[in-house]
Amino acid sequence: MPNRIEPTRPSLLSRRALVAGTALVPLLTLAGCASVPGISLTEAIRRLLTLSAQRAFATLMAENGFYDSAVARIDLPPELGGPGASGLLARALRTGPVKDRLVRQVNRAAERGAERAAPIVADAITTLSIADAAAIIGGGSGAATALLEQAMGRRLVGAMLPDIDGGLRLFDSAVVTEALRLVSGIDLPRLARDVSDRAHDAIYRAIAQEEGAIRADPAATRDPLLMAVFGLSKA
């Protein structure tokens, strides 16, 4: 019986090298280009930001959305007895029941501002200029949010100001009203601006948090593009 010639099998090392090399091809393409065949990195970033913003605003616009959020809760400004306040104002407004009511009121006012901000952010995402998509894809957990915030500047502050100002004028709690009666010189327009600034920062912290969650588990989105791009970037 003639001797059988066994087909040559690649070594385990060579098979691993082949697999590793195959996996690296799309990664190298990803790092060097703004797109890969059938995949737009720019569109992936827009989807990432859109979903992150949608999730963040859904939370923030809910009742007590800011107040219940570990990253978005707004502390009392100095005008209402927060850090930096002193004298009679601080003593009157830092008492337990009063302080809690004030914190809740400030955060409820921020909810009104978020309702105004949400469509502005959504529109900004659609026109966002993305010069280096690959760098954003490979950036930190909030890289896309940082790009969006930089592009928008402080636009949200002015947009939210009227709604937040209106929300701050709804101090209808007897406890809070009495405390405010004890002090004078509270500049509500200035207070509204301060809270608007704080709400602005809180919104971007919330969006960045959602971005980080999507990057960490893109499969949970069930979005094929996000799964392909951000799943690949983690490989």
CB atoms within 10 A of CB 207: 27
Chain segment 94-112, per-residue pLDDT in tens: 666 677 888 888 999 999 9
pLDDT at 189: 83
The pTM score is 0.78
What tokens does 123 get?
Answer: 């529109």
Rounded to an integer, what is the distance from CA 53 to the centroid of its chain?
6
As a three-state string, the secondary structure of 120-173 is HHHHHHHCCCCCCHHHHHCCCCCHHHHHHHHHHCCHHHHHHHHHHHHHHCCCCC
List the domain boundaries for the chain.
40-233
Q: Which of 27-36, 178-187, 217-226 has the lowest average pLDDT?
A: 27-36
